Structure 1
Amino acid sequence: MLRILPHAPLFSLLAVALALSMSGCGKVEGPPRYRVSGHVTFQGKPVPGGSIIFTPDTQKGNAGPQGTARIINGSYDTTEAGRGTVGGPHQVHVIATDSSLAEDAELVGPLAEHTFDIEFPQEATVQNLEIPKSKK
């Protein structure tokens, strides 16, 4: 004898199946990334705007995707319109501008630019950066 189940259990079963099938959709590929945040200063003052690129240092055996962050009013955070680092040794390239608006930065050029060698932990971290005065 065939028994027809009420609709509620069938609906619940379909909802669970749908949730399980969608759980892989938001999966992030590649190695884990970690949040990096901090302040950026130049000549003792907060940098108005700019960008930071975190590149794993292959010369020191590190590999993985680059991380990015925007500098806004002297602060940056890879979770705010950016991507975190994979940890380990990195070359951190900072481009500071007089404006937090990308359009203005393209017109006036960089205020300062510097590349740091930094070893990041494999966890969220705070790293404050002081751009040294350029030697001309």
Structure 2
Amino acid sequence: MHAVRLYAFGPAENLTYEEAEDPVPGPGQVRIAVAAAGVHLLDTALRAGHRGPLPERPALPTVPGREVAGVVDALGEGVAGTWLGKRVVAHLGFAPGGYAELAVTDAGRLHEVPEPLDFAAAVAMI
């Protein structure tokens, strides 16, 4: 998969698009094939090196992004099989990882996206 990674705080030019290992969902988690990712004001502040509401700045390198929408393509142990293949949107919380083709989050953070709603609109709503 590909992801946008940050190695040094600063301007947007510090973001690097590169290959990364596919994340694997742990117990109680799902993996989402990301179709849309939110770019939030907090993400730009964190990229610049400000911690915002976080207790500390993220450890580098990091894959920014906290809002994603897409399709659940893998399940961790203990997650109901009914989530597999579902269209979803999720706020990843303080965990980064949304600027990637695949993102992992706790199943409890998922919201199903109804068929007529596109993924970009779902991310904007979360």
TM-score > 0.5, shorter chain as reference? no
Radius of gyration: which is bigger? 1
- Larger % of strand: which? 1
Larger RCO: Structure 1 or Structure 2 (Cα < 8 Å, ≥ 6 residues apart)?
Answer: 2
